[in-house]
């Protein structure tokens, strides 16, 4: 067996729809076999030694369609706090940890901006759109009086926990009748995907989302291009 034979075998598995993880596992077994033959002087060199390991595919990111996030917001419409939380996720793309750590002084409704402490203690400012500003104002009007500085409080008057925020998302997923599973991170992906589709530059999106590398932000650009390609195909004359 030659190196070419092994590469063709891996290509055959790919044609059958086998994942990169499965093909990498098959290659590992082949390498182990030839390594055994080399150790026992049956062959001098392993033909699998220089075969590139198949790349593991990225997991498909879940995000909401416009009709889905409209249903999600509608389901939370009667609860100012929960509605504001969902709006903030969708309008700013913040991480769930960033949202629950927001304090009253981090939210500037006069200048329409929030200050977020992101990964690596890097602080960034994110502008607020009208819908988010209105939702936050409505929540502040009914926010319980508390010495706790966190912007979002639970029903005991202390800062909302990460788990609490995740439960809110799951609650309204069920109430809205959306069957697919999604998380706070999915709402972040929804923000990034929508902004990319609207033509926001990767560099601006990187600043808003707090990515450490532009390569991460570029994923949203690729996603938006793929979405545009599907739309073109579906409306082909």
User: Pick the catalytic residue: 31, 162, 171, 185?
Assistant: 185
pLDDT at 231: 46
> What pLDDT does 236 receive?
45
Marked catalytic residue, from 188, 189, 195, 206: 188
Note the pTM of the prediction, 2 decimals.
0.70
Pick the CATH number of 66-233 from 1.20.272.10, 1.10.443.10, 3.90.1150.10, 3.30.420.10: 1.10.443.10
- Whether 59 is a known active-site residue: answer no
| Residue in 81, 95, 101, 173 annotated catalytic | 95
How far is residue 126 from each of residues 113, 120, 141, 182, measured CA to CA in Å? 6, 17, 22, 23
Closest CA to 37 of 26, 50, 25, 49: 49
23, 13 contact by CB (below 8 A): yes
Does 185 participate in catalysis according to the annotation? yes
- Active site annotation includes 220: yes
The CA-atom distances, in angstroms, between 45 and each of 179, 196, 205, 209 are 53, 49, 49, 49
**Domains in the chain: boundaries:** 1-57, 66-233
Is the CB of residue 99 less than 8 Å from the CB of residue 82?
A: no
User: Which has the closest alpha carbon to 139: 152, 124, 149, 120?
Assistant: 152
Of 119, 163, 222, 230, the active-site residue reads 119
In angstroms, the CA 214 to CA 233 distance is 29
Task: Spell out, as residue ranges, where the chain has pLDDT lower than 50.
Answer: 228, 231-232, 235-237
Strand, helix or coil at 126? strand
pLDDT per position as a tens digit, 29-72 = 999 899 989 988 889 889 988 888 887 655 557 889 899 999 99
């Amino acid at each position: 067996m030659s190196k070419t034979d092994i590469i063709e075998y891996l290509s055959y598995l790919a044609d059958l729809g086998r994942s990169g993880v499965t093909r990498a596992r098959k290659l590992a077994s082949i390498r182990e076999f030839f390594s055994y033959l080399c150790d026992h002087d049956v062959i001098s060199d392993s033909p699998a030694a220089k075969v590139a390991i198949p790349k593991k595919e990225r997991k498909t990111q879940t995000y909401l369609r416009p009709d889905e996030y409209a249903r999600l917001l509608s389901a939370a419409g009667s609860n100012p706090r929960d509605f504001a939380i969902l709006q903030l996720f969708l309008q700013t793309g913040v991480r769930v940890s960033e949202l629950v750590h927001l304090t009253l002084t981090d939210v500037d409704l006069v200048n329409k901006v929030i200050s977020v402490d992101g990964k690596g203690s890097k602080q960034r400012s994110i502008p607020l759109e009208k819908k988010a500003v209105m939702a936050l104002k409505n929540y502040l009007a009914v926010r319980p009086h508390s010495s706790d500085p966190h912007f979002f409080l639970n029903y005991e008057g202390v800062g909302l926990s990460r788990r609490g925020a995740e439960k809110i998302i799951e609650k309204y997923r069920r109430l809205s009748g959306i069957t697919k599973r999604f998380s706070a991170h999915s709402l972040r992906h929804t923000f990034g995907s929508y902004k990319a589709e609207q033509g926001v530059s990767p560099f601006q999106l990187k600043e808003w989302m707090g990515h450490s590398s532009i390569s991460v932000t570029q994923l949203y650009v690729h996603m938006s291009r793929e979405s545009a390609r599907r739309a073109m195909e579906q409306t082909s004359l």
